[in-house]
Amino acid sequence: MPANRFAFFNGAIVPIEEAQISVMTNTFNYGTGCFEGIRGYWVPEQEQLYVFQLRAHMERLHRSSRILYMKLAYSVDELCDLAVELLRREGFREDVYIRPLVYKSDPAIAVQMNGLTDAFTMFALGFGQYMAGDSVRACVSSWRRIDDNIIPSRAKACGAYINSALAKTEALLNGYDEAIVLGSDGQVSEASAANLFIVRDGKLITPPLYSDVLEGITRQVVVELAREHLGVPVIERAIDRTELYVADEAFFCGTGAELKPIVEIDHRTVGDGKVGPIAGLLVRLYADLVRARLSAYRRWCTPIYA
């Protein structure tokens, strides 16, 4: 897999080895930054790389910045143009992952968000599956999801991901693929870095946005696909931990995770222990969707090469 060669750093696209920060950088010390993860998909029969939901991700980056007292110097349109230019310079002919990042760049020992310099950087690299395999096994983590009044759930804040890392690490050490995290109220929130859906009686159910979940872009895509393309009802409501054990189907979704069916939770099989019909159909639809093969949703795919 070819390595990335460039990054957007200090206002220009530069060789990746020049995109360096000091060990004293405020964000490195305190996690005072926010970021996005964006996927691009190589379609060999078209010789084209499509970035999925590019604008939606850059809009969310602006929202995260606003929540965290950060001023992003580039408009949404400018950010999209920069991403396209960076990918063209890289010349990827494979699936990619794009990481734009807003951060406090001062070499300052200061536990604060105000009065510090905001900077922006972005890089991209070749990227395959985040969760290997066609399905995963999950556990309910002993780590609780951080409350929105502790660290904002709507902001993809750098420092918040220690919560995700602890939950994911616990799951991996215990022999699982992924963690399901409960909120402070004991209700199901999300995975370490993905949203969660279950299926019961032919209906999709997912925790509401006030359950300390990220306002997932892929989450909203799944809602729209289910309602408009499949005619499957979607309900946003609280989910008890034990409801996970009696679900007919379950799956994670996210930009990195894509759509990943869950076949086991806490040593209990989900449904019959195989990928369910609704999840399986959504996985196939999503794979076509992100590669611009569904004309009704092609507006979500940004082509990179002329």
Q: Which residues are catalytic?
A: 156
**CA 83, CA 208: separation in Å to the nearest integer?**
31
| Structure tokens that stand for 134 in this block | 């066609």
Q: Which of 21, 4, 26 is nearest to 13 (CA)?
A: 4
Beta bridge partner(s), residue 13: 8
Residue with tokens 């004309």: 295
Give 11-77 as a 3 state SS string: CEEEEHHHCCCCCCCHHHHHCCEEECCEEEEEEHHHCEEEEECHHHHHHHHHHHHHHCCCCCCCCHH
187-191 CB contacts, 8 Å cutoff, 24+ apart: 187/211, 187/238, 187/239, 187/240, 187/241, 188/238, 188/239, 188/240, 188/241, 188/243, 188/244, 189/145, 189/213, 190/145, 190/214, 191/138, 191/252, 191/254, 191/257
Kindly provide the residue ranges of all beta strands, DSSP E only, lying in 76-177, ordered along the sequence: 96-104, 118-126, 136-140
With beta carbons less than 8 A apart as the criterion, state whether 248 and 271 touch: yes
**CA 164, CA 214: separation in Å to the nearest integer?**
12
Ramachandran area for residue 151 (φ above 0: left; ψ -120 to 50: alpha; else beta): beta
Reduced to 3 states (helix: H, G, I; strand: E, B; else coil), residue 256 is coil
